[in-house]
Amino acid sequence: MLPAQARLRRRPEFSAVVRSGRRAGRPTMVLHLLSERPAQPAGDLASPAAARAGFVVGKSVGNSVVRHRVTRRLRAVVRHELDRLPVGADLVVRARPEAADADSAVLHQDLVKGLDRLLGDRASSR
Protein backbone atom coordinates (compact mmCIF):
# COMPACT_ATOMS: atom_id res chain seq x y z
CA MET A 1 0.00 0.00 0.00
CA LEU A 2 1.22 3.49 -0.80
CA PRO A 3 1.19 6.01 2.05
CA ALA A 4 -1.50 8.68 1.73
CA GLN A 5 1.00 11.46 1.02
CA ALA A 6 2.38 9.43 -1.91
CA ARG A 7 -0.94 9.14 -3.78
CA LEU A 8 -2.59 11.33 -6.38
CA ARG A 9 -6.28 11.67 -5.56
CA ARG A 10 -7.97 14.50 -7.47
CA ARG A 11 -8.85 14.70 -11.14
CA PRO A 12 -6.97 18.02 -11.70
CA GLU A 13 -3.78 16.40 -10.39
CA PHE A 14 -4.13 13.49 -12.83
CA SER A 15 -5.01 15.87 -15.69
CA ALA A 16 -1.97 18.08 -15.06
CA VAL A 17 0.39 15.10 -15.16
CA VAL A 18 -1.14 13.58 -18.29
CA ARG A 19 -1.28 16.91 -20.16
CA SER A 20 2.05 18.41 -19.13
CA GLY A 21 4.24 15.43 -18.24
CA ARG A 22 6.54 13.25 -20.28
CA ARG A 23 5.17 9.92 -21.51
CA ALA A 24 6.69 6.48 -21.98
CA GLY A 25 4.73 3.55 -23.40
CA ARG A 26 5.34 -0.05 -22.44
CA PRO A 27 3.45 -3.22 -23.44
CA THR A 28 1.40 -3.34 -20.22
CA MET A 29 1.26 0.35 -19.24
CA VAL A 30 1.79 3.97 -20.17
CA LEU A 31 3.73 6.12 -17.71
CA HIS A 32 3.23 9.87 -17.42
CA LEU A 33 5.80 11.78 -15.33
CA LEU A 34 5.62 15.42 -14.30
CA SER A 35 8.96 16.30 -12.71
CA GLU A 36 7.74 19.44 -10.96
CA ARG A 37 4.33 19.77 -9.40
CA PRO A 38 2.34 22.87 -10.41
CA ALA A 39 1.78 25.53 -7.73
CA GLN A 40 -1.20 24.92 -5.45
CA PRO A 41 -3.95 27.53 -5.04
CA ALA A 42 -3.50 29.77 -1.97
CA GLY A 43 -6.45 28.22 -0.12
CA ASP A 44 -5.24 24.66 -0.68
CA LEU A 45 -3.02 22.81 1.75
CA ALA A 46 0.66 22.82 0.86
CA SER A 47 1.50 19.69 -1.07
CA PRO A 48 4.11 17.41 0.45
CA ALA A 49 7.50 17.35 -1.20
CA ALA A 50 7.57 13.57 -1.65
CA ALA A 51 6.94 12.02 -5.06
CA ARG A 52 3.37 10.86 -5.67
CA ALA A 53 1.77 8.25 -7.92
CA GLY A 54 -1.70 7.66 -9.29
CA PHE A 55 -3.26 4.83 -11.27
CA VAL A 56 -5.74 4.66 -14.13
CA VAL A 57 -7.17 1.21 -14.82
CA GLY A 58 -10.08 1.47 -17.23
CA LYS A 59 -12.79 -0.95 -18.23
CA SER A 60 -10.78 -2.05 -21.26
CA VAL A 61 -8.50 -3.92 -18.82
CA GLY A 62 -11.31 -6.19 -17.62
CA ASN A 63 -14.15 -6.52 -15.17
CA SER A 64 -14.06 -5.08 -11.65
CA VAL A 65 -12.20 -8.03 -10.14
CA VAL A 66 -9.48 -7.88 -12.81
CA ARG A 67 -9.15 -4.09 -12.57
CA HIS A 68 -8.72 -4.21 -8.81
CA ARG A 69 -6.14 -7.00 -9.08
CA VAL A 70 -4.17 -4.99 -11.66
CA THR A 71 -4.37 -1.87 -9.47
CA ARG A 72 -3.06 -3.76 -6.42
CA ARG A 73 -0.16 -5.19 -8.41
CA LEU A 74 0.69 -1.79 -9.88
CA ARG A 75 0.62 -0.16 -6.44
CA ALA A 76 3.00 -2.80 -5.11
CA VAL A 77 5.55 -2.42 -7.91
CA VAL A 78 5.39 1.39 -7.86
CA ARG A 79 5.95 1.43 -4.10
CA HIS A 80 9.36 -0.21 -4.65
CA GLU A 81 10.39 2.31 -7.33
CA LEU A 82 8.90 5.52 -5.91
CA ASP A 83 12.22 6.59 -4.35
CA ARG A 84 13.72 6.85 -7.86
CA LEU A 85 11.48 9.79 -8.69
CA PRO A 86 12.67 13.35 -8.09
CA VAL A 87 11.32 15.17 -5.05
CA GLY A 88 8.01 16.82 -5.94
CA ALA A 89 7.40 14.63 -9.00
CA ASP A 90 4.04 13.11 -9.92
CA LEU A 91 3.64 9.81 -11.80
CA VAL A 92 0.47 8.48 -13.43
CA VAL A 93 0.45 4.82 -14.44
CA ARG A 94 -2.24 3.94 -16.99
CA ALA A 95 -2.76 0.21 -17.40
CA ARG A 96 -3.22 -1.25 -20.87
CA PRO A 97 -5.47 -4.28 -21.47
CA GLU A 98 -2.34 -6.50 -21.61
CA ALA A 99 -1.81 -5.78 -17.89
CA ALA A 100 -4.74 -8.07 -17.05
CA ASP A 101 -2.74 -11.16 -18.03
CA ALA A 102 0.64 -9.96 -16.77
CA ASP A 103 2.10 -11.09 -13.47
CA SER A 104 3.84 -8.77 -11.02
CA ALA A 105 7.30 -9.52 -12.42
CA VAL A 106 6.29 -8.38 -15.91
CA LEU A 107 4.62 -5.26 -14.53
CA HIS A 108 7.73 -4.45 -12.50
CA GLN A 109 9.99 -4.94 -15.51
CA ASP A 110 7.83 -2.63 -17.65
CA LEU A 111 7.73 -0.02 -14.89
CA VAL A 112 11.52 -0.05 -14.45
CA LYS A 113 12.15 0.24 -18.20
CA GLY A 114 9.60 3.03 -18.53
CA LEU A 115 11.10 4.96 -15.61
CA ASP A 116 14.61 4.45 -17.05
CA ARG A 117 13.40 6.09 -20.25
CA LEU A 118 11.61 8.96 -18.50
CA LEU A 119 14.37 9.72 -16.02
CA GLY A 120 17.19 9.45 -18.57
CA ASP A 121 20.52 10.44 -17.04
CA ARG A 122 19.18 10.50 -13.49
CA ALA A 123 18.39 6.77 -13.62
CA SER A 124 21.87 5.84 -14.84
CA SER A 125 23.56 7.86 -12.07
CA ARG A 126 22.15 5.57 -9.37
pLDDT in tens, 17-44: 999 999 999 999 999 999 887 666 544 5
pTM of the model: 0.84
Which is it for the CA torsion 26, 123, 7, 22, positive or negative? negative
pLDDT of residue 4: 84
Instruction: Please give the CATH architecture assigned to the domain spanning 4-37+49-119.
Output: 2-Layer Sandwich (3.30)
φ and ψ at residue 14, rounded to 5 degrees? -60, -45
With contact defined as beta carbons under 8 Å apart, do 110 and 78 qualify? Answer: no
Amino acid at 67: R
Please report the pLDDT score of residue 123 as a whole number. Answer: 45
Query: Which amino acid is present at 19?
Result: R
Q: Parse the chain into domains and list their residue ranges.
A: 4-37+49-119
Q: Chain-centre distance of CA 12, in angstroms?
A: 15
